[in-house]
Structure formats: C-alpha cells, structure tokens
Amino acid sequence: MIAFENVTKTYENNQVAVNSINLEIQKGEFFVIIGPSGCGKTTLLKMINRLIHLTEGTIRINGKRISDYNIHELRWNIGYVLQQIALFPHMTIQENIAVVPEMKKWSTTEISQRVRELLEMVGLEPDKYSERKPKELSGGEQQRVGVIRALAADPEIILMDEPFSALDPISRTKLQDDLLELQRAIQKTIVFVSHDMQEALKLGDRICVMKDGEIVQIGTPQDIIQNPVNDFVQKFIGIKDDPFSVFTIQQVMEPFAEKAHQNYVHSSVAVDDSLQHILQQLAQQECVVVKNDTEIIGIITRQSMLHFLASKRGDAND
C-alpha cells in the first residue's frame, strides 16, 4: 500500500531528519510511528502526502511513485488529522466536513448525506451539530469533527499526527476507543504518529519505534513488549529486568457481566494461559473472556491490560 524505499530527508544545514528508511505499510493496517521528540516521526508522516519533500529515495502508494501523482489527486485520497484540529472557525460543522467533497464536485445531496452519516458514526447528532460553529463544541467534539472531516471524501489513507495529545485524559481515552471502533467499521490504512507508548500499544496493529531518524524496531504490540530489540526500546517502553516474568491472570481480569459482555463469549483464554498468548488475542479483539475449563470466571479488556502494563512500567522506572 505505502512503501518507503531508501528514503532520506536532509535539511539545508545538513541535519538528517530521516535516514535511509525502508518499510511497507499494508492496506487496512493501523500503523503507529513512535519515538522521542526529534526522532523524525512527523517528517516521515508528512512525506507521504508531500507536505515535506524527500531528499533521496522513493515513496510509492499502490505501486505508483508519489511524485507521479497530481498533488491534488494525491491529497484528496489522503485524509489528514492534526493535533491542532484546524477547523475553519467561520464555517459550520457541515461546511467544515464538506470542504474536500465540494472540491471534488460532489452534489449537494451527496454531501448532506455524507455529513449526516459521518456525524452519526462518531455519536454527534446531525440535527444538533451540523449548523454549529467550532467554538460551540468541546475539544473532544472538535477533534471528532477533525477525524470525520479527514474521512469525508472516503480516502484510502488517513494520516494522524498526534491528534489526541492536547486533550484531557478522559477525552483522549474515549477518542482512542472511538477510533478503534471506527477503524473496525471502515478498514482504512491509518498512519498514526504518537509519543505515548500506551496509546501505541492500544491502537496499533504494528508499531514502528524510531530514534535519530532511523527505524529501531517494527513489530506488533506483543512483539515490542515481549522482544524489545535493544536497550533503547526496552527503556522507551519502560521495561527492564523483565517485570512481566511473574504474571497471574488475576492481575488483569475483571468480573464478567453477562449483559455487557455476552458478545465476547466466543473469544476466550484459559486461566493458565501466558501473558504473550493473551496479548496476541487482545491484538485481534477488544475483550476476551477467561475460562476455567468450560466455566467463565472473568473478562480481560484491552483497557485492563493497558493498566497492568502501565503499572509494570511504573515499577520498572522506580
């Protein structure tokens, strides 16, 4: 879907922002790029839609060099969500969402239907929100509009540059959950930049850890946790001296509520399964039930697992 071939970005002062990057992002994948400030993650993201031009190498989308695309054609097929939301303050929410569809000459009826569909998709009632101005919405609501504006013209690719980092923890967690649910429905190719390892573990199908403009490790969340490639990755994710070596399922298990959790009964782990196996299951679904033989004794959610990982991270850093 998106291929980087020996991609380098060098600025005028000979500062190398990105150095000889090779990677491929698959169609429909939620790919998270993470690393410390100045590691090149945002530069890597912005080169995909040519907001930053590469110095050497090639980037291809669906096998075609990005330099061979008409710039408008390229960007119309790539949604972009910023931390600074950047809604047009003088426009209504409907007008903000409609910007790209209008440029693509959609009909008024098509645009109205699309706006309603997208607002409903993120839990914002169209009749209540369509004619409001951005200043009338909370930060979390504005960011929801930012996300669906990027989806308005049904692009194949969504780029997200630390979109939730300015929000309070409650709004941030809710939007992460909403984004996961949305991705299950729309199956877009999402490239997401973050500096927060918990966010990366929660959202990513694969995680790319960067340092000094280079890729240090790419893997699934469980790969990164279980097999950090070096001390930098181990330190960055907050694990040292294997704080997971002593693990019991009771540390992450929550009570099973039949009404709330009945849809997850088919996804289960055994009471004596390993942490690695549970992480593999949670990479595929939001929750798994815990069984002792055939009896359901509890449930593990991604959120409860993240709380466990965060507590272990804290232990490791003490």
- pLDDT tens by residue, 123-153: 899 999 999 999 999 988 998 999 999 999 8
- Contact indicator for 145, 96 with CB cutoff of 8 Å: yes
Report the distance separating Cα 101 and Cα 107, nearest Å. 8
pLDDT of residue 315: 56
**pLDDT > 90? residue 171:** no
Token pair for residue 145?
A: 């509009």
Q: In this structure, which amino acid lies at residue 106?
A: W
Q: What is the rounded average pLDDT of the residues 25-45? A: 95
In 3D space, the residue among 231, 191, 227 whose CA is nearest the CA of residue 211 turns out to be: 231
Number of helices and strands (H, E) in the chain? 14, 13
pLDDT, average across residues 156-171: 87
- Write down the H helix ranges in the chain: 41-48, 71-76, 93-97, 99-103, 108-121, 126-129, 139-151, 169-186, 197-203, 221-226, 231-236, 258-261, 275-282, 302-317
pLDDT tier, 180 (very low <50, low <70, confident <90, very high otherwise): confident
| Residue 317 predicted with pLDDT over 60 | no
State yes or no: pLDDT of 206 exceeds 90. Answer: yes
If pLDDT is split at 50, 70 and 90, which confidence band does 244 have?
Answer: low
Looking at the DSSP assignment, which residues form a beta bridge with residue 18? 9
- Give the domains, in start order, of the chain with CATH numbers: 2-236 (3.40.50.300), 249-317 (3.10.580.10)
Per-residue pLDDT tens for 260-290? 666 666 678 888 787 888 888 888 888 888 8
Place of tokens 């000979």: 14
Please say if the pLDDT value at position 239 is more than 70: no
Average pLDDT score, the chain: 87
Pair of tokens at residue 185: 């429905």
| Edge-to-edge strand list for the sheet holding 189-194 | 78-82, 157-161, 189-194, 30-34, 206-211, 214-219
Long-range contact pairs involving 171-175 (C-beta distance under 8 Å, separation at least 24): 171/138, 171/139, 171/140, 171/143, 172/199, 173/303, 174/140, 175/140, 175/143, 175/144, 175/147
